[in-house]
Amino acid sequence: MVSYKELGLVNTRAMFAKAVSGGYAIPGYNFNNMEQMQAIIQACVETKSPVILQVSSGARKYANQTLLRYMAQGAVEYAKELGYPIPITLHLDHGDTLELCQSCVDFGFSSVMIDGSHHAYADNVALTKKVVEYAHAHDVSVEGELGVLAGVEDEVSAEKHTYTRPEEVEDFVQKTGVDSLAISIGTSHGAFKFKPGQKPEIRLDILAEIEQRIPGFPIVLHGSSSVPADLVALVNKYGGRLEEAIGIPEEQLRAAAKSAVCKINIDSDGRLAMTAGIRQVFAEKPAEFDPRKYLGPARDLLKELYKRKNSEVLGSANQA
196-227 pLDDT tens trace? 667 777 889 999 999 999 999 999 999 888 89
Q: Which residues contact 231 (CB under 8 A, 6 or more apart)?
A: 269, 272, 273, 276, 305
Q: Please tell me the distance from the alpha carbon of residue 207 to that of residue 146, in angstroms, as a whole number.
A: 12
Q: Please tell me the distance from the alpha carbon of residue 228 to that of residue 249, in angstroms, as a whole number.
A: 9
Q: Between β-strands 151-153 and 219-221, what pairing exists: parallel, antiparallel or unpaired?
A: unpaired
Q: 128: pLDDT confidence band, cut at 50, 70 and 90?
A: very high
Q: Please tell me the distance from the alpha carbon of residue 255 to that of residue 276, in angstroms, as a whole number.
A: 28
Q: Please tell me the distance from the alpha carbon of residue 165 to that of residue 21, in angstroms, as a whole number.
A: 24
179 noted as active-site residue: no
222-244 pLDDT tens trace? 988 889 999 999 999 999 998 87
Q: 316: pLDDT confidence band, cut at 50, 70 and 90?
A: very high
Identify the structural domains of the chain with CATH numbers, from first to last. 4-314 (3.20.20.70)
Q: Please tell me the distance from the alpha carbon of residue 139 to that of residue 28, in angstroms, as a whole number.
A: 20
